[in-house]
Amino acid sequence: MSMKYTKEHEWVRVEGDTAVIGISDYAQSQLGEIVFIELPDTGKTLARGDEACVIESVKAASEVYAPASGDVSETNGDLDTDPGKVNEDATGEGWLFKLSLSDASELDDLMDEAAYKAYVEELG
């Protein structure tokens, strides 16, 4: 499945019944140099829209929200020592956490890549 995006600039890639979640390249470019990421605890249950983690950059702190409900199945431990991976590869090696989805249909109303690009252009 291709990636889907939220208006809060999270991306979601579904792999089976698991959603891999991160922030978009646009979001990391707006944040600037990322210096710390407070990842969620593995096993934590999140409802759609819950604050999942916090990303701190040299400019600001920004919350990342759960784009769907589920349990945190894994976090990207590499970010503890190298949070800059999000700046380098936001949609790849810089993923944040994985959710075991409780209701995958919650992702149906998210934007596809083309709609997200148009959304970001409107923010201009």
pLDDT, average across residues 13-18 = 94
pTM of the full predicted structure?
A: 0.96
Residue 123 falls within a domain, yes or no?
no
Give percent above pLDDT 90 in the chain.
98
The residue ranges of DSSP E strands in 27-115, in sequence order, are: 34-38, 45-46, 51-57, 61-65, 70-75, 97-101
Domain count, the chain: 1
How many C-alpha atoms does 53 have within 13 Å on its Cβ side?
Answer: 26
Whether the per-residue pLDDT at 124 is higher than 90: the answer is no
Q: In terms of residue numbers, what domain contains 17?
A: 4-106
Residue 114 falls within a domain, yes or no?
no
CB 120 within 8 A of CB 8: no
Residue 17: which CATH number? Answer: 2.40.50.100
Sole residue written with tokens 């199945």 = 73
